[in-house]
Structure formats: C-alpha cells, structure tokens
Amino acid sequence: MSESFKLIAGNFFPTVTAHLLDGTTADLCKPHGGAEWQMLVVYRGKHCPLCMRYLNLLEAQLPALKELGVSVCAVSADNRAQLTQSMNTLAVSFPIAYGLTQQQMKQLGCIFPHLALSKKPTTTLQSPLFLS
C-alpha cells in the first residue's frame, strides 16, 4: 500500500500543471487575473454530484474572493471528454483543469490508501481546497 503525503503550512506549494479545455496548460498554484492568492479546489470529478453542486455554488463567491485578491481554479483527474460533459451542468467562469495524475494527487496529499471491504488495498481521492 502506498503512503499518503501531507503538505505542511508555510512550505512551498508543489508545482502542479494540468490541461484546460482551450488546449492550454494551467499552473495550478499560480494566481491569475491580477490576484495575489490562488484558491485551488481539487474535486472528485464528473461522477460526484456534490462536487458539481459545490463548484456551481463557488461561482457566487467569486466577487468576494476577488475583492480579497484571490483567484479560483478547480481540477480533477477527469479526462477531457468527462470535463466537456461536466461543463453542461456547470455554470462557472473560473478555470477548470483536467487530467490530474495519481502522482500529482499524491504530491498534493489528496490521495489516501485504505483497505476496501474486500481487504484489497485501494486508494481514495479526497477533495481538498488549497490557498497559495
């Protein structure tokens, strides 16, 4: 079974990039749009209705976050087709990236090993929120 990794407050945030639907690559830890801070939301993906709801609710908070100097970006391990489908239910203006790898999830400390009921090792993607 693999080990989980935890980020430590005050340390540098790992450099993590992922793809955007427009074909560009996003540096997930860098603020955009003139902001000083970046809120990175890692969500489980298209299959998680709670995540989809949360992302839509987050949109309403963008003006307040912008006033505080915070830009928002979301990412999941979904592939391009899954994110394209998700965009049919999402009404958001912040960038959403796709293609987060298992190694990147480990880097961010959001993949945790556990034993399933079958006693076979498996991993679970947790959905953290980072402010860097």
Q: Which residues contact 104 (CB under 8 A, 6 or more apart)?
A: 16, 18
- Check residue 29 and give its pLDDT: 85
pLDDT by position in tens, the chain (length 132): 445 567 777 778 888 999 999 999 999 989 999 999 999 999 989 989 999 999 999 999 999 999 999 999 999 999 999 999 999 999 999 999 999 998 898 888 886 555 444 455 444 455 555 565
Tokens for 5, please give them. Answer: 């990794």
Question: Residue 43 in contact with residue 9, Cβ under 8 Å?
Answer: no
Cα separation, 128 vs 10, whole angstroms = 17
Any idea what DSSP says for residue 22?
T
pTM for this entry: 0.82
Question: Residue 75 in contact with residue 109, Cβ under 8 Å?
Answer: no
- Check residue 73 and give its pLDDT: 96
- Check residue 109 and give its pLDDT: 81
Question: Residue 21 in contact with residue 83, Cβ under 8 Å?
Answer: yes
Phi, psi angles (nearest 5°) of residue 43: -120, 160
